[in-house]
Chains A and B, each alone.
Chain A
Amino acid sequence: MSGRNHLAGEVRSLLRDAIEVYRDDVETAELLRRQLDRMDEPLRVAIAGKVKAGKSTLLNALVGEEIAPTDAGECTRVVIWYRHGHSPRVTLHPRHGSARQLPVNRVDGALRIDLDGIAPDAVERLSVDWPTQGLRDTTLIDTPGIASISGDVSAAATRFLAPEDEPSDADAVIYLMRHLHSADLGLLESFHDRGVARATPVNTIAVLSRADEVGVGRVDSLMSARRIAQRYRSDPRLRKLCQTVVPVAGLIAQTARTLRQDEFAALAALAAAPRDEIEAAMLSVDRFTRAGPDHARLLARFGLFGIRLATVLIRQGFDDPARLAAELVRRSGLDELRETLSVLFAERRDLLKARSALLALDTVLRECRNPEAAALLTAVERVLADAHEFAELRAIGVVRSGTVDMPADAKAEAERLLGGAGSTAWSRLALRPDATREEQHEAVVPVLARWQRWAESPMSSRAFVELARIVVRSCEGVVSRLRD
């Protein structure tokens, strides 16, 4: 996609110009240089949510290793960055002073983080370098929960995700919630006002986490969770703030991705035992724990729901560890989340990066006045206004906010054509991935004609005309790419 590389190139050269302008201001120049470096780094995705929403668990599930420490009580107290590295390394960045190394301490595979006597509020962030495939393309950032009883822990998360006066460090956000609480909406809105999302929902995905607990542990819990996610997805208040809502059973996903042979054996034994006996034991966690010596550990890893689901699956014939793990991952909703992440974040990586960089540059230029800055500011504004990619993002935001009067079926189509479900030609046209050029061409022509008609119709409202023009341009882009 040449357009996008073109955009990235333009942003880079703007950044270089700005560094030149601020060459005397060491601090600002350094900040800008970091932005320039960031353009080449993996996408930074922050995982945010209320306390105990399951942020660290989901992070582990995404990485496929138990690196983030998890606990029944409130656990993550500082912002932790998980990056790909060649050897395990933990670095502490204090709010004041220079960074220092912390010992890498693993218990049962999971990292034990010991702040070495430093108070959590004195820590700006920890960064963990870890040699794992799961972090190669994305840097994941674990944040402390909001609505925590210790207010300073919550404050750390808010400071990171929605800073008052500086560019945000994250490119995109996965927002976790158990149920949509008004506090969730509040935080999402604050991203929207000044944080990472800055006036477009395009880089925020909401996850209905702990989906296995929705139906208090019944085997059909995940179905219920799906239904609830569907409802949230169509809630206009949420649509304005995030792209989509995906249900994920984080604990099961995490455990399935790290399933061990002995655990499988224990589950298989449970599945083979007489039904009545097992059902009686699985009435409550206390009963289950009493029923066997290794049960407490199984519970901690799977949860009651996970054990129920796994035994049902084994009985259904998923009788080797690999197949069981794959099925558990599928059922947990993790596959769907990864798919969503790849379509909505990874494919747009350059665009999101460019956007973060431009927003950062914009903030810097406005704050540090400089005679030469004015010209650069105009250039930034021009890129933000002219680049069709940004126009698309804004248009998606407009469609989702529901402020434009338009035919109901046109809404979904507009969003798709603008790249809301993925920026490839086939996903814009709602075709299968293996659709041929001819099929794509056949699909795009009538769509283009229809939107052109809307764009030129005197009956359309002004806002709709503007939107239709952008959609037409997106369709034209598809056509021209088909021709190449």
Chain B
Amino acid sequence: MSGRTPIEVVDLALKAATAYDRDDLAVRLAQTRQRLLDPAVRVLVVGEFKQGKSHLVNALVNAPVCPVDDDVATAVPTVVRYAESPNVVLVGETAVRTEVPVEQLADYVSEAGNPGNRRGLRHAEVGIPRSVLAGGLCLVDTPGVGGLGSVHGATTMTALPSADAVLMVSDAAQEYTATELEFLRQAARVCPTVVCVLTKIDLYPDWRRIAERDLAHLAAADLSADLLPVSSVLRLHAVREGDQALNHESGFPLLLNHLRDRIVGRAAELATRSVVHDVRGVALQLTTAMGAELTALRDPDRAEDLLSRLRDAKRRADALRERSARWQQTLNDGVGDLISDVEYDLRDRMRKITRDAEAELDGIDPMLVEEQFVGWVLQRVAAAASANFVWTNQRARWLAGQVGDHFADDGGGVLPDLHAHDPAAPLSQTIPLEFGRPEAFGLGQKLIVGLRGGYGGTLMIGMLSTIGGLALLNPISVAAGVLLGRKVVKDERKRMLERRRSEAKLAVRRFVDDVGFQLGKESRDVLRELQRDLRDHFTGCAAELSRSLSESMKSAQRAVDSDRGERDKRIRDVRAELDRIAHLATAADALVDRVGTTR
């Protein structure tokens, strides 16, 4: 086996593309190279609170990075990834990055130092030098779902689609509850890989039975996820003492293998496949011109035929760049439909919340239950926002795939082999679909923090002012009581209650409206961006195709024009060059073979 690494193969292809003056192909390869150099594999560690998520992360990297406590500990998502030397960066609400000393991390991410994320952090990033993370693995410790004031759940949900895998953590004290299973179901819908981790097996004698029951629940819910029992305590102890047997008992070797082979490995495999796909594409495009020249050189009589075929193909490639091309239509119509669907869905969800809230308000006195009510509305809104987000994401991915297929179908005649080569890597897999990633914790978190601050404020102030009004009214109502008798006071009270209710309703409506507006704008922007990205990507591909074909035509023309002696020499040269490019394709194929064997 030649044993070239993917990056070397890309460099090779890059050299070839430059040598043949194809700067357009070089740009594409440079992007591929960039992606390969930064192989972040995000693994989200999720679960209800107090299940041992932070402890699991600590045991995985063998360092006390995430604060652990007997009481609820994690308040802010913490991203743990590889770095040469330990460092901590806090990412604020407006994506402002501040570096803080490592030992101060707990002050920012723990419930004790930063209760309810009062500092409004989006997330914290911890870099530590650990070999387990060196492959690009990036562990994200999340605040527990299901606690009090838990809008965390919604935030976690919005982060799911951008994750490569999810570790669902549940302790061996009990089998899955209905809420946990529901969470798993949702996670499985948006994330390609879900792994269930059963923690604290050092503490519960019956963990094997719990594991069995959990597996049964997973099977009954039709979820295909592996269940790995582990003990973080044993792992940390084993590492400290250098005890192999204990390490084995802790279950961590299995978990680490799983992470390495199935998650990081799978991501690497995907990356390699996309490299192979790109390099092959480049090789093919380079060959086209030379192949055409060779054919024309060998058989000048039929050159006219070849030229007309090439002209035809070029016309089709150019047509792909037109706005009227089928993929363009699919894309434009699709995004248009998607925007209106998403907006409708959002409006529908928000309307339902408003309706429910109003019905609820009819039965209560907003002054007495203000806090719970505000909390309830916030939670409902956050949940609706995340459901809408997840759905948008699913639809967008599907659309990207569809556009890719249509592009491939239309362009199929141009370079017939471009996609048939590697059925395992359909075009959509190699599209740099970054949807949601830059915003990772952004969308949900920003909104929710915003809700808490600004909008929650509006709601509260609306209610507070009515309380203020009541206080003012007090002496008056007492006087009125004396003068006009009890009935008036009673009526007055009732009127005040009605007023409080209607003001609260108004506040809710305004608030839900504002959120809907904001969210609608966000998702529209995200989708427009997606549209632009996809359009640029495919237009670029079409331009490459068109250029390859015009080069081919030029070469073929040159071949027809040349005389006999020149022709033989040229045939030899072109053959040699074709060999060189074939070598490039072979190197790329070798990568695939390796991926195939390590599976």
Which chain A residues have a beta carbon within 8 Å of chain B's beta carbons? 50-52, 72-74, 147-149, 151, 154, 178-183, 185, 189, 210, 213-217, 221, 224-225, 227-228, 231, 235-237, 283-287, 289, 296, 299-300, 303-305, 401, 403, 461-462
A73 with B71: CB separation less than 8 A: no
Residue of A whose beta carbon sits closest to that of B200: A216
Is B474 within 8 A of A461, CB to CB? yes
Is B246 in contact with A283, judged by CB distance below 8 angstroms?
yes
Chain A neighbourhood of B213, CB < 8 A? 73
Q: Is the CB–CB distance between B181 and A149 below 8 Å?
A: yes
Contacts of B173 in A (CB 8 A): 52, 178, 210, 213
A60 to B48, CA, bound (A): 28
Minimum distance in angstroms from B352 CB to a CB of chain A: 19
Asked if B593 is an interface residue, CB under 8 A from chain A, the answer is no
Closest CB-CB distance, A95 to chain B, in whole Å? Answer: 23
Known contacts A296-B205, A403-B368; A182 and B146 CB within 8 A of each other:
yes
A149 touches B203 (CB 8 A): no
Subset of 5 A-B contacts with CB under 8 Å:
A178-B50, A227-B70, A283-B246, A285-B201, A461-B471
**Interface readout for B191-225 with A: 1 if CB under 8 Å, 0 if not?**
00000000011111111011001000100000000
Nearest CB of A to B57, in Å: 16
Identity of the chain B residue whose Cβ is nearest the Cβ of A300 in the assembled complex: B205
Contacts of B371 in A (CB 8 A): 236-237
- Whether the pair B178, A181 counts as a contact (CB closer than 8 A) is no
Is A284 in contact with B372, judged by CB distance below 8 angstroms? no
CB-CB contacts of B235-272 with A at 8 A, as 1s and 0s?
00100000000100100000000000000000000000
Interface positions of B (Cβ within 8 A of A): 48-50, 52, 70-72, 146-148, 150, 173-179, 181, 200-207, 209-210, 213, 217, 231, 233-234, 237, 246, 249, 367-368, 371-372, 471, 474, 478
Interchain CA distance A182-B178 in the complex, whole Å: 13
Q: 6 smallest A-B Cβ distances: which pairs?
A: A72-B206, A284-B202, A52-B174, A224-B70, A299-B205, A285-B205
Alpha-carbon distance between A303 and B172 when the two chains are bound, in angstroms: 13
Q: What does DSSP make chain B's interface, helix, strand, loop or mixed? A: loop
Beyond A52-B173, A147-B179, is A283–B237 a contact (Cβ under 8 Å)? yes
Q: Cα distance A165–B368 when bound, in Å? A: 25
Contact B474 A237 (CB under 8 A): no
The answer to whether B70 touches A284, judged by C-beta atoms less than 8 angstroms apart, is: no
A231 touches B71 (CB 8 A): yes
| B234 touching A182, Cβ below 8 Å | no
Residue from B178, B209, B231, B474 having most chain A Cβ neighbours under 10 A: B178
Nearest opposing residue in chain A for B246, CB measure: A283
Which residues on the B side are within 8 Å of A235 (C-beta)? 148
> A73: which B residues are within 8 A, CB to CB?
175, 209-210, 213
Smallest Cβ distance from B303 to chain A, in angstroms? 73
CB nearest to A189 among chain B residues = B372
Chain B, Cβ-Cβ closest to A287: B249
**Chain B contacts of A149 at CB under 8 A?**
175-178, 181, 217
Q: Which of B70, B148, B206, B233 has the most CB of A within 10 A?
A: B70
State whether B205 touches A148 (Cβ < 8 A). Answer: no
**B70: which A residues are within 8 A, CB to CB?**
214-215, 221, 224-225, 227-228
Q: Known: A147-B177, A228-B70. Is A237-B372 also a contact (CB below 8 A)?
A: yes
Contacts of B179 in A (CB 8 A): 147, 183
On whether the beta carbons of B203 and A216 are closer than 8 Å, the reply is yes
B205 to A182, Cβ gap below 8 A? no
Please, which residue of chain A has its CB at the minimum distance from the CB of B72?
A179
> In the complex, what distance in Å separates the CA atom of A388 from the CA atom of B205?
52
A305 to B181, CA, bound (A): 29
A285 adjacent to B203 (CB under 8 Å): yes
* Chain A residue contacts of B205, Cβ below 8 A: 285, 289, 296, 299-300, 303-304
Q: Which residues of B contact A236 (CB under 8 A)?
A: 371
Is B474 in contact with A462, judged by CB distance below 8 angstroms? yes
Residues of B within 8 A of A216 (CB): 52, 200, 203, 233
Interface residue from A50, A180, A285 paired with B147 (Cβ < 8 Å): A180
Give A148's nearest chain B residue, CB to CB.
Answer: B178
Distance in angstroms from B238 CB to nearest chain A CB is 9
Q: In whole Å, how far is B312's beta carbon from the nearest beta carbon of chain A?
A: 62
B193 to chain A, nearest CB (A): 23
